[in-house]
Chain A
Amino acid sequence: MVIECKHVWEHISGYLDGTLDPALLAIVQLHLEHCEICSAILDSTRNILILTADDRVFELPMGFSERLHSRLDEEIRSAAG
């Protein structure tokens, strides 16, 4: 079965998460083997997800933890006192 590019795009997420049912997966896979545009979309999306999941993207500012925990200490002391 042949599938158009724009229908393949609807399944990129499911493809990456491995949640497509086997029949659909086979159709999408076959299309990807022959379509460089859809393959590039898939590869770039996967690459972007790897980058955005990296801990370095949302690094805590310098001293964040120290400031947070000292504020908590104040709160704990005032709750106790």
Chain B
Amino acid sequence: MIARIVAGEPHLFHDLIRPYERRVYAMALSFLHNEADAEDAAQDAFLKAFRNLAGFRGESQFGTWLISITLNEARSRLRRTKAAPMTSLDLDPDEPGAVSPALLRDWREIPSQALERQEVRVLLQEAIAALPENYRTVFLLRDVDELGTNEAAAVLNITVASLKVRLHRARMMLQKSLAPSLKHLNPTRRWFQWL
């Protein structure tokens, strides 16, 4: 399909990108923290991909290449809006040092129906957006976009070993920030109206 687009059927680009719209938007949103900016960044990423499609060599998958463009777009927008880059505050993401989870005695399953509630979706989005960039990108690629370990490591240009360390920490950080607040959403009274 890419060869045909480059060879003179540009309208096929519409179909090529449809499966990636949500992934690109989610990545942009997790950096920019606001829907309008995320949408702008996502549009620009798709346009850049279109303009540079002839230069796409197919060494990686199209989706992988597209998400790299999105990462660059989101990072450069963040640099423009913030005087100091956030990443300088991050610890070395691959240094030893464990993230302690939130300690609970029991866990009552939160059903997926809870996501019908706007406040629950916002809670999850904000917790992901609050992760340091090095962990957030790994988490989004692996656990939200469900890319394979090797593919995700290739997008981020890191080793598989450091990808695994970062993914583990991202998950533990989310457990730590989300488990207590999810637990306090009063499951008995409110969840069950969706069951």
Q: A10-B168, A57-B125, A76-B11 are in contact. Are A64 and B21 (CB under 8 A)?
A: yes
Contacts of B172 in A (CB 8 A): 9, 12-13, 45
B186: CB under 8 A from chain A? no
Q: Is the interface of B mostly helix, strand, loop or mixed?
A: helix
In this complex, how many residues of chain B approach chain A with their Cβ under 8 Å: the count is 53
Inter-chain contact B98/A6, CB cutoff 8 Å: yes
Q: A12-B172, A72-B14 are in contact. Are A36 and B105 (CB under 8 A)?
A: yes
Q: A44-B175, A48-B174 are in contact. Are A67 and B125 (CB under 8 A)?
A: no
Q: Measured between C-beta atoms, what is the minimum distance from A73 to chain B in Å?
A: 8
Give CA–CA (A47, B52) in the complex, Å: 40
Measured CB to CB, the nearest residue on chain A to B164 is: A13
Interface residues of B in 131-183 (CB under 8 A from A): 139, 143-144, 146, 164, 167-168, 171-172, 174-175, 178-179, 182-183
Contacts of A56 in B (CB 8 A): 115-116, 121
Inter-chain contact B39/A67, CB cutoff 8 Å: yes
A23: CB under 8 A from chain B? no
Inter-chain contact A64/B168, CB cutoff 8 Å: no
In this complex, how many residues of chain A approach chain B with their Cβ under 8 Å: the count is 41
Contacts of B183 in A (CB 8 A): 44
Name A residues whose Cβ lies closer than 8 Å to a Cβ of B.
6, 9-10, 12-14, 16, 36-37, 39-41, 43-45, 47-61, 64-65, 67-69, 71-72, 75-76, 79-80
Name B residues whose Cβ lies closer than 8 Å to a Cβ of A.
10-11, 13-14, 18, 21-22, 25-26, 29, 35, 39, 42-43, 46-47, 50-51, 98, 100-107, 109-110, 112, 114-116, 120-121, 124-125, 128, 139, 143-144, 146, 164, 167-168, 171-172, 174-175, 178-179, 182-183
In the complex, besides A47-B107, A60-B25, 9 extra interface pairs with C-beta distance below 8 angstroms are A12-B168, A16-B171, A41-B101, A45-B101, A47-B110, A54-B115, A60-B22, A68-B43, A76-B50
